[in-house]
Amino acid sequence: MGWSTIRGPMEVTVQEAKTHLSRLLRRVEAGETVVIKRGQVRVALLTSALPQAARRQIWGDVQGRLASDFDEIPRELEDYAS
């Protein structure tokens, strides 16, 4: 897929949007905006209609959890861990 997200919102072609609409809607639910282009011309914006508080969080469910087999960070790497 040739999705572009280098600067600003994700940009997809009309064909990509048709093919991957469910995936794009999940990203929009998480708060992203998607630009739909016909050729090189931006023709539409796909944004959430949900209030900010009701948007689905993709990564928030794993925040603050560690695997049961997690080892302490070695001293020589502590500077890189923060």
Higher-confidence residue of 62 and 21: namely 21
Residue 61 has pLDDT above 60, yes or no: no
| Helix/strand/coil (H/E/C) assignment for every residue in the chain | CCCECCCCCEEEEHHHHHHCHHHHHHHHHCCCCEEEEECCEEEEEECCCCCHHHCCCCCHHHCCCCCCCCCCCCHHHHHHHC
Q: What is the fold, at CATH topology level, of the domain defined by 10-74? A: YefM-like fold (3.40.1620)
pTM higher than the cut 0.85: no
Domain limits of the chain? 10-74
Per-residue pLDDT at 4: 55
